[in-house]
Structures are given as C-alpha cells and as structure tokens.
Structure 1
Amino acid sequence: MKPLFVLLGTFLIACIAFLLSKKNIDYRLAGRIAMASMLVFTAMGHFIYVEGMSAMIPSFLPFKKQLVFLTGVLEIIIGIFLLLPYYQNVTAWVLIVFLIVVLPANIYGASHHINYQTAIANGPGLAYLWFRIPLQIFFIIWVYISTNR
C-alpha cells in the first residue's frame, strides 16, 4: 500500500509543481517522476528487509539475498533511466517485464504468509493477492501510459 501512496503523492506534487512553474501539466513526465520515486522507495526495502524479502523467493532459487540486493539495485537504475528521454521507452518495457517477473515472489510470499518486514510467517496470506495482483497490473498500465509517445 505504501508504494501506491508514494506513486500517487509524488504524481500529485509533480503536477502541482508543473502547474505553478509552467502553467501546464506534463502528465506523462509527472507519471515517470512518480514511478521513479516509487521505485527508489521500494528499492530501499530491498536493503532494509533483506531477510524477509529473501524468504519470499521460492526455495529452488539459489542466492536469495543476492537476488534481493540485485533487484533493489535494478529498481534504482530503472527509476533513473525512466527519467532519461532517450531511454524511457526501452526502460518502460524492461520495467514491465520486471514487474511481471517479480510477481511470482509476491504470490509465493503470500501463499506462505511471509511478512517481508519481519521474515516471519505471520503475513496476510493469499488475501493480500486480491490487492497485490491488481496493483501490479495498475503499475504496468501506469508505466505504459506515462512512457507511450
């Protein structure tokens, strides 16, 4: 839920800033700024909640902690590249694929009741997916709309 608030809050702030400075709003740029901010915010979790996020990765995958760090670094890099006009379209497709690829970790974590902050099996469980899967779709649509030329 927090990433959604970061996304929407940053979008609103960017729109207001555009309105005050330019008298017109560049919604697509505001959308990319908001997504980049959200990605940096979620990346912080990869470095703060390493144990819990590692527990969300299925057991057949090796190097769980390294994958958590790698995906955190990727989120930061993708966030930066979303803001570079020359790279925004390619980056958008990379981000869409990334959002699809990481969804199974959310499903695995939910099915095992993983609380990513504590690494304890007391999370919300499968009910969380009723929110998370539509949210992931929303993020994908957001990326597509804010980068489509």
Structure 2
Amino acid sequence: MTDVVIVMLCIVPLMLHLAWPGKSSARSRARFGALGLGFAFCFFAAGRIAVPDELIAMLPPWVPYRPLIIYGTGLLELGIAAALFTSKWRKWGGMAAAAVLILFFPANVYAAINNIGTLASLPGPAYLWIRGPLQLFLLAWTYWPIRWVHAPASRFIRDAGSKIF
C-alpha cells in the first residue's frame, strides 16, 4: 500500500499541473515533477520517525549505530526534499535523491532475503518484485526533473531575445 502512496505523491502534482488550464512548458512540468518527488522524500523521512524499529531491522545487525543511521537518513531525506522544492538546489537534490535510492537498495535486498520490514507478509523475492520496479521508477522520476534545471533556452528564445535587446 505504501508503494502506491509513494507513486501517487510523485504523480499527483504533475497531473494537477497538466489538468490546470493554460500552457505548460517542459520546464514547468519538470518543476512539478520535482515537487512530487520532494513530497515522496518527505514521506520517506516521515517513515523514519513513524516506524523506526522496522527500518532499523532492515539493516544487518553488524551495521553499527543503526538507530542513528535511520534518523540521520531521515534528515538527509528532508534535505533532499527541500532541495527539490527550490530551483537553485533542484539539480543537487535530484542527484542526491538518485544516490540515496541506489545506496539504500541493498537494505531492501537484505530485508527481502530475511523477510523483514513493512512488506514482511511478502516472502523473500516477492518483496523485491515490488520494491525493485518502484526503485527504478523513482530513479527515472529523479532524472526527469533535474535534466531541465540548467538546460539552455531554445534557439527561438535566444534569437527573439537578441532582436529585442
């Protein structure tokens, strides 16, 4: 169920933007895509506070300072969300989001192998059949908004600007 919530958090701001009357540019769509990803990272951070014991269990026992890691990554996720909400830091937030998604995936594999975590009712590999595609979706979604952050203006805009000024 939480996987559906995560996908909805990502998609709903963009869908509302597209449904709003008026013209929509690629940059504005990317901005609303980043907004949705930021909401998803706020949701991830809230999970670190709401169910820390489940998330601590998802880390192998040999990992030191597991509670500190969980709370620290929650703060990191809030920072990523804040960066995604701002145009100045969106690119760095997107890159950090992609890195976090990749670096956290081994914990999902460990949880799947040991039947630990929020999807413990799904045995072993079944957990990864849900989590793996979700991670890929989030990675793709992360790339999409940040690629427009420093994209050059179109030739039409550059030419029009040079004629005006």
Q: Give 1:53-92 correspondences, 5 Å limit.
A: 53-92=55-94
Q: Which consecutive residues of structure 1, in runs of 5 or more, have no partner in the other structure?
A: none
The alignment's C-alpha RMSD in Å is: 1.6
Instruction: Determine the C-alpha separation between the residues in 2 that align with 1:110 and 1:10.
Output: 31
TM-score, normalised on structure 1? 0.86
CA deviations on 1:112-146 (whole Å, 9 max, x unpaired) are 111338xxxx4313211012112111111111111
Asked whether the 8 Å contact 2:38–2:82 carries over to 1, the reply is yes
Q: Which consecutive residues of structure 2, in runs of 5 or more, have no partner in the other structure?
A: 149-165
Q: How many residues align?
A: 141
Shift of 1:49: 0.4
Instruction: Determine the C-alpha separation between the residues in 2 that align with 1:42 and 1:9.
Output: 17
Q: Give 1:8-23 correspondences, 5 Å limit.
A: 8-16=11-19, 19-20=20-21, 23=22
1:101 pairs, out of 97, 103, 116, with 103
Runs ≥4 residues deviating over 3 A? none
Indicate the residue corresponding to 2:158 in structure 1.
none
Indicate the residue corresponding to 1:139 in structure 2.
138
CA deviations on 1:77-97 (whole Å, 9 max, x unpaired) are 101111221221122111111
Asked whether the 8 Å contact 1:49–1:116 carries over to 2, the reply is no
State the percentage of identical aligned residues: 24
TM-score, normalised on structure 2? 0.79
Larger CA Rg, structure 1 vs 2: 2
